[in-house]
Structure 1
Amino acid sequence: MARASTHPRSCGLKHRGFGRRFALLLMPLLVVGCAWGSSSETRTGDRAVPDPDASENVTFYPTYGYLEDDEWVVPVRYWVWEDRGLVSRVVTRVASSMAGLEPQQVETFRHRLRPFSGDSEWRQRVTFVFEDDPLGQEYQVLDERGRAPRTDRNGVVEGKVRIPAQRAEELLAAQGSQGGWLRWEAVSRDHSGTGQAILVPSEGTSVISDIDDTIRITEIPAGWSVAVRNTFFDEFREAPGMPELYQEWDGEGDVLFHYVSGTPWQMYESLSEFLFHEETGYPEGTMHFRTVRKNLVSISTWRDLRSLVSAGAETADRKYEVIAGMMEDFPDRTFRLVGDTGEGDPEIYRSLARRFPGQVEEIVIRDITDDRTLRPERLEGMTVIPAETIERATGPDAIVADLRWQPQSVRVLW
């Protein structure tokens, strides 16, 4: 069921120049804020006081497992962090004064800001157990050398967990798993969080889906002001007809879903709440987003901030490599690639089809810029879903997409 925004489209922005300035200001504010003050805090008058009993959040991002010989290999990414209430309040106040927000928009922004303003915890090592495991066996994410790394300065660990195939079957049975999902929870001291991974059969069909303007209305071609409003301030809206299409595919029985987007990982919580809510109705799946680091002393942070306010080749390179990696993990599966014309999805997907000609079953593109009329060569050989046309913005507010992208030099890893 589609849910319209409670705010008119013009609401909440003083003028069109706001969007890019807000995007340029938001992340530096958070970077500086997260270098200031205590991680978890209570208030005594006007003074922030550390809370020694605060638990650290562990966000495990939904992932998949692939079978390698007699083991399931599960790539895992997790983030250890604490709420930063004071920073959130300050940034919300600044944004409200810039944008002239209504009360509901302020609350929406505060909720979506929470992971951006969270304090990343350094040198943490998380231990977890699978739910309902009668053995209670503890696991840790391992790096390529087989060691359990600690979180980096951005609070993140990336690595793999290996589970013997027979053991995985026992865990699935113990959990009464539906669809091959395995669930776990953090048990290390002062850590709180749950995660899940789907064990993907070697054969079948995977839908790899973009998010912005493919299944959620973002209106990126309309420019920064509109895209920022739809991302941070207004209620999310599903793209008309797309939940029903995905439900139809889900009903085929052997279809799994992977959501790959240039959206920052910090949007994971808000987007998953929306996409997989029963009123929205998208099938649950794995999530693969973009890294936006916040550590003040890292040059990578400033590179990430630069890419956050551009639609350059780095985002397309990263998207291409993530999808290519999944295709390499599952050489006997076929893939439906679903995107839109607002950015470089047709070019990325066409390049993947050339590289993996036997695996790409179909490319489905939601045409939001009337490319079927203006640039039909972009959509040649693809299944086109006509959509309401979004006029491309011009001038400083425009988000310029690279429609001539080619997979030449991949410069950034996810």
Structure 2
Amino acid sequence: MPIFKKDPLQIIAFQSYGTDSHFYARGRALEDESIDLEAKSTWQLIVNSWKRFGTDEIKNVGLNLKLANNKVLKATTDHKGYFRIEANLEDLKALTNEEGWLFFELSYNDVNIKRNIQNQNRFPGELLIPSSKAQFGVASDIDDTILHTGVVSLLKWRLIYNSLFKSAKSRIPLEGSVDFFHKLHRGASGENANPIFYVSHSPWNLYRYLELFLKQNDFPKGPILLRSVSEALKKKQQGEKPQKQKEILNLLKTYPDLPFILIGDSGEHDPDIYMEIADEFPNRILAIYLRSVKHKKKMLRVKSIVDSYKTIPILLVKNSQQAIEHARQNGFIA
């Protein structure tokens, strides 16, 4: 009998997006470390953080993905346990609910894997296919845009502290951001169901943490698009785009008939990334909203480039109400 009991297996499906004819899903196969999302004690929060980043991935293993119409797609995890499934299919919208979410089920395809019997080798997943009523899409940053993280603090100490020592349920969204996002989701008609995509440079290890934060604070449900730790640490080749920029460009490519509103903050690279995207797709970006951060030097730089930018409307806002008023004046919301 082994001294240490092995953890059960799990498959985490990251909320993704697709179209009526294109299926696109991502996720990761890991040992289930039983992270307590309800934890409040400092010690348990530290343990949770250790578990998030000290993952035991299930690498090079085959997976099955089953749709509601019994269609089965296959994938194999990579050396970090990540998987990606893409397929050109027909009439996927027929499988979605009224908000456009398509549900599927993942499983390990190796019958010899015995460590997941407790949950019967069935793991849920979902992706969004935007409604035909959608007026536009929204691509929003998370850090210091809707969630105060302290990303501009000295040596990012506040970002580290908040991520390690605060639970998702104790984090408070920036004032007015939930109301603003619901107004954008409902759109000018009140029933547009405009898709919201949460795009961040945070690692996938924080996926469930951020998912709980968004759900706990009643943000509109939407795909959460992050990056791997290896992508964050990798030295970029000359001319290579940041991961956040790649994700937004892929959204524009996936939905060629859907304009977008971009939301971020003035603390890091959002202004530069968003303006470069707007220069490349001036007819696809309706507006850019940048939340001001408390950093004098960064604000002076951003204000100087925003003031001289004429391609599309770009607004530096101190609070969500300013963004709501602008969006209403421009017919984006009711």
Give the TM-score range, shorter chain: 0.7 to 0.9
**Pick aligned residue for 2:303 from 345, 367, 376:** 376
CA 1:251 to 1:204, structure 2 compared with 1: closer, same or farther past 3 Å? closer
**Pick aligned residue for 1:159 from 85, 91, 95:** 85
Which residue number corresponds to residue 18 of structure 2? 65
**Pick aligned residue for 2:198 from 242, 259, 267:** 259
Matches within 5 A, 1:103-182: 104-130=41-67, 133=68, 137-140=70-73, 148-165=74-91, 168-172=92-96, 177-182=97-102
**What is the SS of the residue equivalent to 1:324?**
helix
TM-superposed CA distance for 1:80, in Å, is 0.6
**Pick aligned residue for 1:249 from 170, 184, 192:** 184
**What is the SS of the residue equivalent to 2:278?**
helix
**Pick aligned residue for 1:290 from 215, 227, 231:** 227
Which amino acid in structure 2 is aligned with residue 214 of structure 1? T
Give yes or no for contact 1:73–1:163 (8 Å, CA) kept in 2.
Answer: yes
Give the Cα–Cα distance (whole angstroms) in 2 for the partners of residues 288 and 123 of structure 1. 23
Which amino acid in structure 2 is aligned with residue 384 of structure 1? L
Which residue number corresponds to residue 186 of structure 1? 106
Which residue number corresponds to residue 15 of structure 1? none
Structure ranking higher on relative contact order (CA contacts 8 Å, 6+ apart): 1
Matches within 5 A, 1:81-120: 81-84=30-33, 104-120=41-57
Give the Cα–Cα distance (whole angstroms) in 1 for the partners of residues 43 and 240 of structure 2. 29
Count of aligned residue pairs for this structure pair: 291
TM-superposed CA distance for 1:225, in Å, is 1.7
Matches within 5 A, 1:5-404: 48-51=3-6, 55-67=8-20, 72-84=21-33, 104-130=41-67, 133=68, 137-140=70-73, 148-165=74-91, 168-172=92-96, 177-188=97-108, 189=111, 190=116, 191-201=121-131, 204-223=135-154, 224-234=156-166, 235-252=170-187, 253-254=191-192, 255-277=194-216, 280-293=217-230, 304-305=232-233, 317-368=242-293, 369=295, 375-380=302-307, 381-386=313-318
Give deviations 1:234-288, integer Å, cap 9, x for gaps.
Answer: 23221122111111212223211001110000100011001122xx121110111
Give yes or no for contact 2:64–2:75 (8 Å, CA) kept in 1.
Answer: no
Give yes or no for contact 2:93–2:129 (8 Å, CA) kept in 1.
Answer: no
TM-score (ref. length: structure 2) = 0.78
Which amino acid in structure 2 is aligned with residue 74 of structure 1? F
Give the Cα–Cα distance (whole angstroms) in 2 for the partners of residues 316 and 275 of structure 1. 27
Which amino acid in structure 2 is aligned with residue 212 of structure 1? D
- Structure 1 unpaired stretches of 5+: 1-43, 89-102, 141-147, 294-302, 388-414
Give yes or no for contact 1:262–1:315 (8 Å, CA) kept in 2.
Answer: no
**What is the SS of the residue equivalent to 2:61?**
coil
**What is the SS of the residue equivalent to 2:29?**
strand
TM-superposed CA distance for 1:113, in Å, is 3.6
TM-superposed CA distance for 1:111, in Å, is 2.8
- Structure 2 unpaired stretches of 5+: 308-312, 320-334
Give yes or no for contact 1:205–1:256 (8 Å, CA) kept in 2.
Answer: yes
Give the Cα–Cα distance (whole angstroms) in 2 for the partners of residues 355 and 305 of structure 1. 27
Give yes or no for contact 1:76–1:161 (8 Å, CA) kept in 2.
Answer: no
